[in-house]
Amino acid sequence: MGDWETENRYYRLRFPWLADDLVDGILADYQEKGWPVTAWQIPGLDETWVSTRDDYGYWFLVVRLGDQVWSISTGTTEPTIDLAERHAAVLAEVQQKERGGSDL
């Protein structure tokens, strides 16, 4: 696909319900812009949402695990479950390290 950019925004909130509010706000913004939003089921994540901008082929991925939210926009030709699974692994690793575990 030529040159494209990826933008990642990571949020760590004090309480999980604040993460819910943030995700709701991000998704509402996408819907106001007329971009379709689809929920995905990805093992290891509390929520995963995908949206797209058809006018130039950008995909938006929002993942949530507990109090962590990651908003990713990328110029790939199609979203991949692999991308969501990679982000799930990173979020799970952060949680595990904070709990004092070293299994990952």
pLDDT of residue 95: 79
**pTM check: above 0.85:** no
pLDDT tens, position by position, 50-100: 887 767 667 888 989 889 898 988 776 665 677 778 877 888 888 788 777
**C-alpha–C-alpha distance, residues 75 and 73, integer Å:** 7
pLDDT of residue 77: 62
pLDDT tens, position by position, 4-59: 567 888 898 988 899 999 999 999 998 998 888 989 888 888 999 988 776 766 78
User: pLDDT-derived band of residue 101, with 50, 70 and 90 as boundaries?
Assistant: low
Pick the CATH number of 6-98 from 1.10.405, 2.60.40, 1.10.3470, 3.30.160: 3.30.160
**C-alpha–C-alpha distance, residues 102 and 100, integer Å:** 7
pLDDT of residue 28: 95
| Residues contacting residue 63 through CB under 8 Å, at least 6 positions apart | 42, 45, 47, 48, 49, 69, 70, 72, 84, 87, 88, 91
Name the residue ranges covered by the structural domains of the chain: 6-98
Please list the alpha-helical segments (H only) found in the chain: 16-32, 81-98
